Amino acid sequence: MSRLPNLIVIGAMKCGTGSLHYYLGLHPEIKMSRPKELDFFIEERNWNETIDWYKSHFSGEARIYGESSPNYTRHPFFAGVPERMHKIVPGAKLIYILRDPFNRMISHYIHECSMGRESRTFSEALKERDDNLYVSASMYYMQLRQYLEYFPLSSILIVTLEELHLHRFPTLQKVFRFLNVDDSFHSQDFSNIRNESSYRRRKSPVGSILTRAVGKPVIEKLPIPLRRLLSIPFSRKVERPEFDEKLREELIEYFKDDINCLREVTGYKFEDWSL
């Protein structure tokens, strides 16, 4: 019997949503969607699909049914997501996984290069700050504020990629407690996957063609190691860009208010971040 989800991982992009989705799906009381990213609440993506289409991705016996779509926190490029979400699943619990904003922007830039959608240098891509593809997705409080208009803060759990990487089981226990499932559950597979962005970056225009030909849903059902293996024959290394000192200082100033508001609202100090 299909049903609506009661858990949505809302992002952020390049912050470990794939890993978290995988770990959550290992828990016997949790069923996560396949494919991972349904993008149902995005008008430009799948909002024209029916509710039955959305419900068809959640079935079986479980306490928690969830999906993970990082595009849900890409305002203003995909606007109106929290309002649509609240209309359909007002009681859902949300998880927002974050990462050092600078490292997230670097990984995002590399991703766009690998997909053949970015040809500018890193500095050129960050020259304009307002409504910038890379900057806006790292403005975590700005993104969170869109949801707080519709969901109480008590329904939103903040997790960081850094704590998931360094303290995996205690972090997952915190997630399990938030979801009211058995927090003593442990799997040896918790150590079998790393965040995809920590792997060697590769530029794969042919890999993008393969994805379009086969279909993203088919590709996403494959285990991550197999997906990575398939991309290697068509890949070449993408060099990791660096922030020059002037750009770093400008961005620290630009992000200052957003990060301070995020700290105040969440209670997190984010001491291991570069801001």
pLDDT tens digits, 161-208:
999 999 999 999 999 999 999 999 999 999 875 544 443 344 445 445
pLDDT one-digit tens code per residue, 88-103: 999 999 999 999 999 9
Domain membership flag for residue 127: yes
Within-domain flag for 247: yes
CA distance 176 to 25: 12
Q: What is the extent of the structural domain holding 20?
A: 7-201+238-266
In terms of Cα–Cα distance, which of 239, 257, 258, 256 is closest to 248? 256
User: What percent of the chain has a predicted confidence (pLDDT) above 90?
Assistant: 78
How many structural domains comprise the chain? 1
> Tokens 């978290």 appear where?
20
Asked if residue 222 belongs to a domain, the reply is: no
In a domain? residue 273: no
pTM for the model: 0.87
Provide the CATH number for the domain around residue 148: 3.40.50.300
CA angle centred on 2, ends 227 and 92, rounded to 5°: 85
Using pLDDT thresholds of 50, 70 and 90, give the confidence band for residue 226.
low
Confidence of residue 123 (pLDDT cuts 50, 70, 90): very high
Is residue 226 in a domain?
A: no
Is the confidence at residue 218, as pLDDT, over 90? no
